[in-house]
Amino acid sequence: MTDARDLALPASYTDLLGELKNRVRAARTQAIRTVNTELITLYWSIGKTILGRQATEGWGSGVIGRLAEDLGAEFPDMKGLSRSNLQYMRGLAEAWPAFDPNVPQPVGHLPWGHIRTILDKRLEPPARDWYAAAAVQHGWSRNVLMNMIMNNTLERTGAAPSNFVQHLVAPDSELAQQVAKDPYNFEFLGLSGEVAERDLENALTSRITETLRELGPGFAFVGRQVHFDVDGDDFYVDCSDSRIIPRAVGVAA
């Protein structure tokens, strides 16, 4: 049998292969972007509903807490429906009251963690829009976004990005990578990010176990994702990511 690799290829094959690879990458990026925008749209609509009910019916934190419990019971795989995350959704709707998923807006192209970072900083509306647009245009990761805000980048540069639509999340940017790995998107689709990380965690924990054995007695491996409860919010030290991951981060209403 003739191996396909032994066949003579046309001179244009390399260029064609490169073009098709780019198409696949672009389609994957667009699919991920679409899922993320749908998630942000859902969160905004929930936040808008909460804002409206608070205004007309005087909803307090107790009602929001009960809502989180009931939604969590119905959708147990969606950690994003926690009480504190519902407060963030409220903050999203309050910060961007005119959000429209049919109109390109920077905030609709950011992963949820980026939006929470912007909300936490309590910026004025023009500054919120500027950092959201700059994060999309330049493909900033969440840490870079946070550093840019803390370093008052807006005040130093001034000009607001105006062409973010032409620079939407390059497939090789840090932002695109974070959108692709965002656990909220996995949960929204009914998938589990933990499944995708299982092989990595197994490899890490195996190596940790071997190292501890070599060190001798007096050392212990506590766990893969060690839980901390801080004022009712859940935090996890995730060995596969070498940082503390908040599963629910409090935010003032």
Residue 244 has pLDDT above 50, yes or no: no
Quote the pLDDT of residue 221.
58
Rounded distance, CA 224 to CA 242, Å?
Answer: 11
Domain ranges of the chain: 9-191, 193-253
Task: Report how far residue 250's alpha carbon sits from residue 68's, in angstroms, rounded to the nearest whole number.
Answer: 13
How big is the chain, counted in residues? 253
What is the rounded average pLDDT of the residues 31-60?
Answer: 91
pLDDT band at 233 (very low <50, low <70, confident <90, very high): low
| DSSP state letters, 107-148 | GGGS-HHHHHHHHHTT--HHHHHHHHHHHHHHT--HHHHHHH
Residues 6 or more apart in contact with residue 246 via CB below 8 angstroms: 233, 234, 235, 236
Give the β-pairing of 243-246 and 233-238: antiparallel
Higher pLDDT, residue 101 or 251: 101
According to DSSP, the residues that pair with 243 across neighbouring strands are: 238
> What is the Cα–Cα distance from 243 to 245, expressed in whole angstroms?
6
Burial class (CB in 10 A: 0-12, 13-18, 19+), 201: middle
- Is 164 within 8 Å of 133 (Cβ atoms)? yes
Q: What integer pLDDT is reported at residue 220 of this predicted model?
A: 61
Residue 149 CB neighbours (<10 A) = 21
pLDDT for 148-186, tens place per residue?
999 888 887 766 555 544 455 565 677 777 777 788 887
pTM attached to this predicted model:
0.68
How many other CB atoms are found less than 10 A from the CB of residue 179? 23
Tokens of 28: 């994957």
**Which among 110, 251, 124 is positioned nearest to 179, based on CA atoms?**
110
Tell me what percent of the residues of the chain surpass a pLDDT of 70: 67
Comparing 101-115, 122-136, 229-243, the range with the smallest average pLDDT is 229-243
Least confident range from 21-25, 36-40, 108-112, 219-223: namely 219-223
**176, 28 contact by CB (below 8 A):** no
Mean pLDDT of the chain: 77
Alpha-carbon gap, residue 144 to 146, rounded angstroms: 5
